[in-house]
A and B are shown apart, each in its own frame.
Chain A
Amino acid sequence: MSVRLMQGNEACAEGALAAGCRFFSGYPITPSSEIAEILSRRLPALGGVFMEMEDEIAGIAAAIGASVGGMKSLTATSGPGFSLMQENIGYAAMTEIPCVIVNVQRTGPSTGLPTSPAQGDVMQSRWGTHGDHPIIVLCPSSVAETFHLTVTAFNFSEKYRTPVVLLMDEVVAHMRERFEPPAPEAVEIVHRMGTDVPPDWYYPYDETPTDVPPLVSFGQGFRYHVTGLMHDRAGFPTERRDEINAWLKRVFGKINHHVSDICLYAEDGTQDANTLVIAYGSTARSAQHAVKLARARRRKVGLLKMLTLWPFAESVVEDLAEGVRSVVVPEMNLGQLALEVERIVGRKKVLRVNRADGEMVTPQQILQAIEERQA
């Protein structure tokens, strides 16, 4: 019997195709390049479009342009490219155009350590573009999760009309695991909501019960305006406070009112735990092992693996942290998601385990932190 080993980046490309992505535009950068390479081969065969652009700014711009034309679109990059994309990520958030941005994190800042792993872009993925805006950020810790979260990224993007960032790290992107993608019919796919009203009645930024307005592609008889300026429900620029505040309320509402749908996580042994480890990405794998080692030593330790980083699952963390003495937050950065955890549970309860030198956080480091707190 043969066993299929799949790489994280490959699972991302396959997940995108399974989700219905038919447009990719990007710029080469390690450790994300395999996503582009695979899609350059696969997309044309599916009648899709692959474009290698002149830079990452053009990569995300073309992806947004294609999405306005009705195609589910993707771009993929790593830290330096992600920095370049920030302005247009804000444009996608402002104009509520669905698109998925993959950032395979490597050690930064700047060119950093090409291409050692890191998780240093957690805060950038939330606040990288200027101004208040909502965004969804998903973070896989395995090859299988990469496939499924890529599909979910497209589904959330379409359902909530928002850019979605898939925040991978170099370890997850390049590791190979046994994984067989599900049959296409077994993959649940969401498409953006259209409209059945006549063009004159269509408002691309209308208030709706879900806070998500329907989106009609260009060229279908609904001639509307898209702008990065603050706009009214028809999409035209506005400086009226009542319209600006209505927009802010709606775009934050469309995410905040659906956190129970958007915030994905997995718990392991949290019921009787007195120590809680909160981890994500490849560090969650180290954490998993550390929890196993600690349990073997009869420590009561639970693991909360965050699959959605933003919006931050406040109530989940609040509930789980209530019954424990301490919370350990290991990260391949100098403390980013820990800031959110501390905000929810208080600084005294949190023990950070950090490194940003291009190496993974080891299970032993996490185990040591667990035992330090339990001693």
Chain B
Amino acid sequence: MKTADQDETRIYDYLRHKKKFPNVWCAGCGIGIVMHAIVRAVDRLGLSKDEVAMISGIGCTGRMPVYVDFNTMHTTHGRALAFATGLKMARPDMHVIVVMGDGDALAIGGNHFIHAARRNINLTTIVVNNHIYGMTGGQHSPTTPTHRLASTTPYGNVEQPFPICDLAKAAGAAFVARSTVFHATELDRFIESAIVKRGFALVEAVSYCHTTYGRMNKLGTAVDMMRALKERSVPAEAAAKLSADELQDKIVRGVLLDRECPEYTQLYAEVVKKAQAAAARA
């Protein structure tokens, strides 16, 4: 059987292509690449579309669920993980994929992000990091690099960016990986592993926003920014040999964490068993 990456037309089966396209994203945007990576991962795993749910918050990435033919929910800003937690507990058998942008996941949704990771609930979480609030016009986000320009940092950003993967690791995630929209096939594999992983699995997909961030910081076209992702990125194994200075401004790609730790829906099933046994004795 051919998989979706061998046969591009197979992708259509996962898209609401007759109903909802063209999409809202700017020409050259990386979000579509992440969407296709998710579709290819789902296809390779042979999951039925009925058992997959995609939940998003607000922003450019928040618009993704409308285009995929899963059970889809476009929720409120920052709250996707909280909605997804409820759905996952109601339907532990479903594969729940949460897609968010950097502002959605880490500013307004930062609290839900760390607590979902802390619970280690079996959710596949994909953060498309373009370092900016794209949809609202390029305001600085929690991942905008220091000194960079944004529509709300006209004198340069004085805040430090959140390291998304480190945050997830520290908060208790079971699986953490990072790749870029240039490395699309690597992204497929990481997303596939994240879906299979039992526990809170985070994939940071580093992207770019050429229309706002790129324009304001004179980083060129979408193609230039894509090329920069290629040039700036280092595989985790190679990065281990580099000094902190050498790693400045580098994007470290790879599976950064993969550990076995008790998963929430399974732990909760034990609570139910215990409570039911106690009720039966009473």
Contact = CB atoms under 8 A, between A and B. Distances in A.
B186 interface: no
Interface stretch (A58-66, A321-329, A342-350): A58-66
Interface SS of B by simple majority = helix
A65 B85 contact: yes
A223 B70 contact: yes
Contacts of B55: 65
B115 interface: yes
B75 A44 contact: no
A123 interface: no
A49 B20 CA distance: 36
- Which range holds the interface residue count of chain B? 35 or more
Contacts of A53: 82, 85, 115
A45 B276 CA distance: 4
Interface string A69-93: 1110100000000000001100100
A66 B87 contact: yes
B76 A91 contact: yes
A111 interface: no
Contacts of B275: 41, 44-45
A127 interface: no
B50 A68 contact: no
A63 to B, nearest CB: 6
B115 A65 contact: no
A51 B53 contact: no
Nearest to B95: A219
A226 B76 CA distance: 11
A11 B73 CA distance: 34
A237 interface: yes
A226 B75 CA distance: 8
Contacts of A234: 19
Given A54-B115, A69-B91, A87-B76, A44 B276 contact: yes
A55 interface: yes
Contacts, number: 140
Interface in A215-257: 217-221, 223-229, 234, 236-237
A49 B274 CA distance: 13
A223 B49 contact: yes
Interface string B85-112: 1111111011000000000000000011
A69 B82 contact: no
B75 A228 contact: yes
Interface in A12-38: 23, 25
A47 interface: yes
A44 B272 contact: yes
A218 B88 CA distance: 11
Nearest to A95: B73
Interface string A94-132: 000000000000000000000000000000000000000
Interface of B: 19-20, 49-51, 53, 55, 65-66, 69-76, 79, 82-91, 93-94, 111-112, 115, 268, 271-272, 274-276, 278-279
11 contacts: A45-B278, A45-B279, A62-B86, A65-B82, A65-B83, A69-B89, A223-B49, A223-B71, A225-B72, A229-B74, A234-B19
